[in-house]
Amino acid sequence: MFSFVSGGIDFAHKLDAASLPSESYYKHVHAFNEIIFFVEGDVEYTVESETRHLFPGDLVLISPGKYHFATVNSAVRYERYVLKFPNSALPKFLSERVGALSPFFSGIKGQTSMFSRFDSYYEFGNFSDEELVAMFLVDVIKLLIMLSKEPADTPRQTNTVIADMVKYIDENLTLPISLDSLSEVFHFSKSYISNEFKQYMKIPIMQYVRMKKVIAAHQLILAGNKKAAVAENFGFENYSTFYRQYLKLYKAGMLLISD
């Protein structure tokens, strides 16, 4: 087991008797990539509107801005590798591909041996942080290239109503989105939309919309756009409103990985 944080990446091999997720854990979306390689446990993982029961050797790929959470049976020990890294760590052609990939993969040849190498890199103890970062990222880049060649996975356990709402929100983040507008688009009552979304996604729908807008805005800010212009582009009433939301996600560790 190991935990390594340096140079904009956070890689760990974790084994614990996980407690049940707190309410705050369900409000989980971030501006970096995350890979979960599942070793053992009793876990269901949700990425946006799709939920899978994980089996040993399954891999979950969470690209920036994708809402996700795990539902864990805390009576069973939970072992997994967790790899967090920014888009800037990847070649541009690959970072563009990653966002379009399915979040769930199973039976990918060579995965187990690759993750075992991570343990050996760390435990060997004769590498500097810079060398470890380089070796970890070389293997991650090779893995992502391989995943990008896999056939598109067929979604399972998807709530089609929620999936349609998530797709609409993702495609219209620069528009004013409210319960009223969602009710008009999907022809459901505001109470139905609110209750259905909260029940499935474990988060109020308007909080989800705000988080999505801030994450998307953060990507533009990293690309050099001015914060005030970005805030206006995503429909925030004023810059101070945007900044409060931005600061909240920053303090929660959802925007940057600690060096």
CATH code of the domain covering residue 12: 2.60.120.280
pTM of the model: 0.83
Q: Is pLDDT at 21 greater than 60 in this prediction?
A: no
Q: What is the CA radius of gyration of the chain?
A: 19
**pLDDT tens readout for residues 189-231:** 999 999 999 998 889 999 999 999 998 998 888 888 998 999 9
Question: What tokens does 225 get?
Answer: 């756009």
Residue 143 to residue 110: CA distance in whole angstroms: 9
State the total domains in the chain.
2
**pLDDT tens readout for residues 129-160:** 999 999 999 999 999 999 998 776 665 667 88
Q: Are residues 77 and 167 in the same domain?
A: no
Residue 182 to residue 200: CA distance in whole angstroms: 17
Q: Are residues 134 and 188 in the same domain?
A: no
* pLDDT band at residue 185 under the 50/70/90 scheme: very high
* pLDDT band at residue 47 under the 50/70/90 scheme: very high
Task: Decide: helix, strand or coil at residue 202.
Answer: coil
Cα 50 to chain centroid distance, Å, stands at 13
Q: Are residues 215 and 106 in the same domain?
A: no
- Boundary (domain end) residue, out of 86, 113, 148: 148
Task: Name the residue range of residue 125's domain.
Answer: 2-148
Q: Are residues 6 and 104 in the same domain?
A: yes
- Boundary (domain end) residue, out of 116, 148, 180: 148
Q: Are residues 205 and 181 in the same domain?
A: yes
Q: Are residues 243 and 196 in the same domain?
A: yes
Residue 153, domain member (yes or no): no
The mean pLDDT value of the chain amounts to 87
HSE-CB for 58 with a 13 A CA cutoff:
18
- Boundary (domain end) residue, out of 148, 173, 194: 148
Residue 93, domain member (yes or no): yes
Q: Are residues 83 and 131 in the same domain?
A: yes
The burial class, CB within 10 Å (0-12 / 13-18 / 19+), for 243 is middle
Instruction: Summarize the confidence of residues 93-100 as an average pLDDT.
Output: 89
Q: Is pLDDT at 174 greater than 90 in this prediction?
A: yes
Q: Are residues 130 and 174 in the same domain?
A: no
* pLDDT band at residue 259 under the 50/70/90 scheme: very low
Task: Give me the helix-helix angle, 190-201 and 205-222, nearest 10°.
Answer: 70
Q: Is pLDDT at 126 greater than 90 in this prediction?
A: no
Task: Decide: helix, strand or coil at residue 47.
Answer: strand
Q: Are residues 203 and 77 in the same domain?
A: no
Q: Are residues 138 and 189 in the same domain?
A: no
Looking at mean pLDDT, say which of 113-122, 184-193, 208-217 comes out highest.
184-193
